[in-house]
Amino acid sequence: MTPSSRPAQPENGQARRLAVVGGGWSGLAAAVRATELGWQVELYEAARQWGGRARALTGQTVQTRQVPAGMPELDNGQHILIGGYRATLGLMQQLGVNLESALLQLPLDLRYADGSGLAVPGWAARWPPPLDLLAAILGARGWGWRDRFALLQASLRWRAAGFSCPADLSVAGLCAGLPPRVIDELIEPLCLSALNTPLSQASAAVLLRVLQDALFGAGHGRWRGADLLLPRVDLGELLPGPALRWLADRGARLHAGRRVVALQRRPAGWRIENQDYDAVLLACPPREAARLVRSAGLDKMDDPDGLSGGLTESGSGRWIAQAEALAHEAIATCYAQARNADGSPGGLPDGAAMVALRSAPEAPAQFAFDRGQLGGPAGLLAFVVSASQGERAEIERQVLAQAREQLGLASLQPLRTVVEKRATFACTPGLQRPDAAIASRLWAAGDYVAGPYPATLEGAVRSGQQAAEGLQASYGLNQAARHR
C-alpha cells in the first residue's frame, strides 16, 4: 500500500482528526479527499456562506436595487470553466452533480457582437485538436491572411518548444511581433480571463501551460479541453452544496461562520480553540494563512517532535514571506437588467449566452453573459471586467455605457456590481509561490499554492486534493520516523 492510500488510522483504531480552515473550493476539495483517505474532517469557514470567491450571493447579501421577482441567486462573480478542468469536473461528478444539466457547453468562441473574431466553427466542433483550432484561425472573421499566418507560425513555434519558455518572460514579450489584431482579439482576452493579469505583467510560462492544456490537451469525459462550460446553476449548487452534503453524509463536522483566530502547537498536532487535531490544512487566502502560521509562533519554534520531514522553522518563515509577498488583481462583475424598446426582456445578439466586448480603459468589460440563457430570468446580463481598476460606481457607469454602445440595448438597468479587490494573485513572470507543505502536519491549499495553473477553480481544486494526499503521504513517512 502506498503512503497516500494508507487509511488514516492510528493504533487505537480511531480515525485521525484533520481541521480544514477555509470552505472555498480548495478547502472543500481537500475535505472530500481527506475523508476518502480515512480522516475525520472538521471544516471551518469564516463566512456564513460556503464557497469562498466562487460562491452564490444569497439573502441579505444581495442588496440589489431592482431585483426582478423570483430572481435566482447572483454569484460573487461570473465564472467560466473549460473542458480541460479535469480535476474540478471529476470532483463535481463524484459528488453527484449532473454535469450535462449544470453546465452549458460551447465550442471555443471569442467573437464580438458584430460576429468578428475567432471561434471554432460548428462544422469543425468535433474535429480533433488542434484541427478545430486550425479551422477557427483560418475562419476568423475580420482577420487578414497576415494575422492568420502569424498566429499559425507562433502556435507551431510554441508547440515545437514544448509550450515552455524562460520563467522571466512576460506575455507581452512572448507575443512581440504578433499583429495587433491577434493580440487584441485573442491573446489579451485569453490572458485576462485565465491569468487576470495585464499582458505586460503576466507570466508567459503560465499562459503557455494554460494554452497547452486547454487547446491541445484532453478534456473531461466527452468534452474537449478548449470547450467553454458556462454554469446553468448558481455557484453554490455547482460544487459547495453537493460537497457539503457529501461530507455531512460521511460524518464530517461543518462549521460556517466560524473564523479560526489562532493555531496552537501541541506535542502531537495542533489545537484550534479547545479542539485538538492530528493535522491542520490551511485553505484560507495567503495572508490569512500566513497570519495563522505566525499565530502558532512557528517561525520562531523548533519542531518539537522532530518529525518535520525536513520542514524547519526557517522554512516556515520563508513560507510566510512568500505568502505575504503575493500581489493581487481585482475582478468586477456588473449585473444589469436589459429591456428592448417594447419593454420585453433584452439579451445578447442572436440569443448568444456569451459574447466578447471590445475593451479599452474607458470601456473596461471584456465579456458579457446572458444569464437568461443560463437558467436565470430573461434579460439578466452579467458583464466581467478582469484586472479591473478604480472604484465600483465608476466601473459600473463605464460598463453600462460600453454595453449600450456595443450591444445596442435600448435600456439597461444596473442591479448590482460586485468588485472583488483580491480576486486572484497577480500571475507575474518568475513568481515564487508558497509550497503546500508548511511544517510538520501543517499544510496549505489554495489557488495561490505553487503549481502550474493561475488562480482558477481548477488550480484550487487540484491544490486541495494534492494537499490532502501530501499530508497523508507525509504522515505515513513521519509515522515510520517515529517508530525507527
Alpha-carbon separation of residue 267 from 271, 306, 366, 403, 475 (angstroms):
10, 10, 52, 59, 15
CA–CA separation, 135 and 137 (whole Å): 6
Report how far residue 374's alpha carbon sits from residue 380's, in angstroms, rounded to the nearest whole number: 10
Q: What nine digits make up the cell of 432?
A: 515564487
Report if residue 283 touches ligand FAD, rule: CB under 6 A: yes
Q: Is position 260 an interface residue for ligand FAD (rule: CB under 6 A)?
A: yes
By the 8 A CB rule, do 267 and 304 touch? yes
Among 16, 18, 20, 27, indicate the residue that binds ligand FAD (CB under 6 A): 27
When asked if residue 41 is in the footprint of ligand FAD (CB under 6 A), the reply is no
Peptide bond just before 166 cis, omega within 30 deg: no
Residue placing its CB nearer to ligand FAD in the complex, 110 or 151: 110
270 part of the interface to ligand FAD, by CB under 6 A: no
CB nearer ligand FAD, residue 429 or residue 446: 446
Closest CA to 334 of 415, 417, 393: 417
User: Which region among 45-53, 59-67, 181-189, 428-436 touches ligand FAD (by CB under 6 A)?
Assistant: 45-53
Half-sphere exposure of 317 (CA within 13 A, CB side): 8
Q: Near ligand FAD by CB under 6 A, which window of 241-249, 283-291, 293-301, 308-316?
A: 283-291
423 binds ligand FAD (CB under 6 A): yes
User: What is the Cα–Cα distance from 323 to 56, expressed in whole angstroms?
Assistant: 27
Number of residues that bind ligand FAD (CB under 6 A): 35
154 binds ligand FAD (CB under 6 A): no
CA–CA distance, 65 with 191 (Å, rounded to integer): 33
Indicate whether 451 belongs to the interface with ligand FAD (CB under 6 A). Answer: no
Site for ligand FAD contains 23 (CB under 6 A)? yes
Cβ contacts of 264 within 8 Å, gap of 6 or more: 270, 271, 272, 296
Using the contact rule CB under 6 A, the part of the chain among 10-18, 282-290, 320-328, 435-443 near ligand FAD is: 282-290
Q: Is 32 in the site for ligand FAD (CB under 6 A)?
A: no
Touching ligand FAD, residues 377-396 (CB under 6 A):
none
- If one asks whether residue 436 binds ligand FAD (CB under 6 A), the answer comes out as no
Q: Is 333 in the site for ligand FAD (CB under 6 A)?
A: yes
- Beta strands 328-339 and 279-282, pairing class: unpaired
The rounded distance, in Å, linking the Cα atoms of 474 and 255 is: 27
421 membership: H or E segment, kind and range:
strand 411-425
Tell me: does residue 331 bind ligand FAD (CB under 6 A). yes
Q: To which H or E segment does residue 132 belong?
A: helix 131-139
Q: Residue 356 forms beta bridges with which residues?
A: 112, 367
By CB under 6 A, the residues from 393 to 422 that bind ligand FAD are 420
Work out whether 24 is an interface residue with ligand FAD (CB under 6 A): yes
The one among 17, 53, 220, 371 contacting ligand FAD by CB under 6 A: 53
CA gap 16, 274 in Å, rounded:
17
Mention every residue, 6+ apart, whose C-beta is less than 8 A from residue 60: none
Q: Which of 25, 246, 277, 383 binds ligand FAD (CB under 6 A)?
A: 25
Q: In what order do the strands lie in the sheet with 328-339?
A: 354-356, 367-370, 380-388, 328-339, 411-425
* Piece in contact with ligand FAD (CB under 6 A), picked from 243-251, 267-275, 277-285, 302-310: 277-285
8, 32, 284, 307: which one contacts ligand FAD (CB under 6 A)? 284
The single residue among 16, 17, 20, 26 that binds ligand FAD, judged by CB under 6 A, is: 26
Q: Are 385 and 364 in contact (CB under 8 A)?
A: yes
Q: Indicate which single residue of 424, 428, 472, 478 sits in contact with ligand FAD (rule: CB under 6 A).
A: 424
Does the protein bind ligand FAD through residue 256 (CB under 6 A)?
Answer: no
Question: Which residue lies nearer to ligand FAD by CB, 19 or 307?
Answer: 19
Considering beta carbons, is residue 344 or 432 the nearer one to ligand FAD? 432
Distance, CA of 33 to CA of 27 (rounded, Å): 10
Nearest to ligand FAD of 8, 87 (CB atom) = 87
**Closer residue to ligand FAD (CB): 17 or 53:** 53
Nearer to ligand FAD by Cβ, of 30 and 151: the residue is 30
By CB under 6 A, residue 455 contacts ligand FAD: yes
In DSSP terms, 169 is beta-bridged to: none
Q: How far is the CB of 322 from ligand FAD (least distance, A)?
A: 16
Sheet holding 81-82, edge to edge: 81-82, 228-231, 103-106
Positions in 218-247 near ligand FAD (CB under 6 A): none
Per CB under 6 A, contacts with ligand FAD among 199-218 are none
Name the minimum Å distance from CB 397 to ligand FAD. Answer: 19
Among candidate residues 290, 285, 286, 278, the one with its CA nearest the CA of residue 316: 290
Task: Give the interface with ligand FAD as residue ranges (CB under 6 A).
Answer: 21-27, 44-47, 52-54, 77, 79-80, 259-260, 283-285, 288, 331, 333, 420, 423-424, 446-447, 455-458, 460
